[in-house]
Amino acid sequence: MTDLPVVAADSRFTVRRIYCVGRNYVAHIREMKEADERDPPFFFQKPSDSIVVDGGVVPYPSVTKDFHHEIELVVAMGSGGRNIPVAKALDHVLGYGIGLDMTRRDLQREAKDRGLPWEIGKAFDHSAPCSPIQTVSSVGHVREGSITLAVNGVTRQSGDVRDMIWNVPEIISNLSSLYELKQGDLIFTGTPSGVGPVVPGDRLEGKVDRLGSLNITIGPQEV
C-alpha cells in the first residue's frame, strides 16, 4: 500500500485511488489550444503506487523525449459516497496537498491525435509526486491562494487556486456521479499555465499557499 504523511498527526494517509482533473484552468486550456473553456470536467487516473514523496527522485521515464511538469492542488478524501451534493462535498475532505501530474507529453499528444486513451502519457511509474497532507482542521479549506512551480529556482508556473474553472466541491460532486469515492482517494485538481519540459538533474519546487512545498529531483533516465 502507498501512503503519505499527515502533518501534525500520528496517522498516515493510505492512498486508494488517484483521480486527476483535465483542463481546469482557462490559461492552461489556451496554452494547449484545446477544448471549450466551459466543457464539463473530465477525469483520468494514475496508479496509486505512482506516488513519489516529498524530497524524492523521479526517474526520467522511458520512451519519452518531452517530459513535462504540471503543478496541482491535491484533495485528500476522508470519506466518500456516490452522487455527493455540491453543498455537502467539503464535508468529505480530510485535507489538502501539493501534487505534480508528471506527463510524457509527446506520448500524450500522439494518443490524443489517434483517439486513444491517455494512460501511456499520464499513468506511468513515479508520475504522481505528492506532498504531505495538511488537514482541514489545521489549514481550513483551500478556496484561493497562489500555486507555483519553480525549476532550478526559476518560476515556470504561477496561478491562483480561485482560477479553477471547476472548484473543489463541484469536482467532488461531479466525480462522485461517475465513481463511488472513498476514504484514501486523492484528487489532483488541474494545473495553471506554464507547463514545460524537465531533464535529469532538474530540481522542482511546488508551492500552494498554506500547504508548504513539494520538492523533487529528476533522476537519470530509466533503462
Structural domains of the chain, count:
1
pLDDT for 198 = 98
CA 198 to chain centre: 17
CATH code, domain carrying 208: 3.90.850.10
What Rg, from alpha-carbon coordinates, does the chain have? 16
**Whole-prediction pTM:** 0.94
Structural element, H or E, at residue 30: helix 26-32
Structural domain of 150: 3-221
Phi, psi of 113 (to 5 degrees): -60, -30
Strands (E), the chain: 3-5, 12-14, 18-22, 42-46, 51-53, 57-60, 67-69, 71-77, 93-100, 103-104, 128-130, 134-135, 146-151, 154-160, 186-188, 196-197, 203-208, 213-221
Q: Report d(CA 160, CA 148) in Å as an integer.
A: 8
Beta bridge partners of 103: 68
pLDDT tens per residue, the chain (223 residues)? 799 999 988 889 999 999 999 888 876 456 555 555 556 778 999 999 999 999 999 999 999 999 999 999 999 999 999 999 999 999 999 999 999 999 999 999 999 899 998 899 999 999 999 999 999 999 999 999 999 999 999 999 999 999 999 999 999 999 999 999 999 999 999 999 999 999 999 999 999 999 999 999 999 998 7
C-alpha cell at 200: 535529469
Q: Using the 8-state DSSP alphabet, how is residue 40 labeled?
A: P
Could you report the per-residue pLDDT of 43-84, keeping only the tens digit for each? 999 999 999 999 999 999 999 999 999 999 999 999 999 999
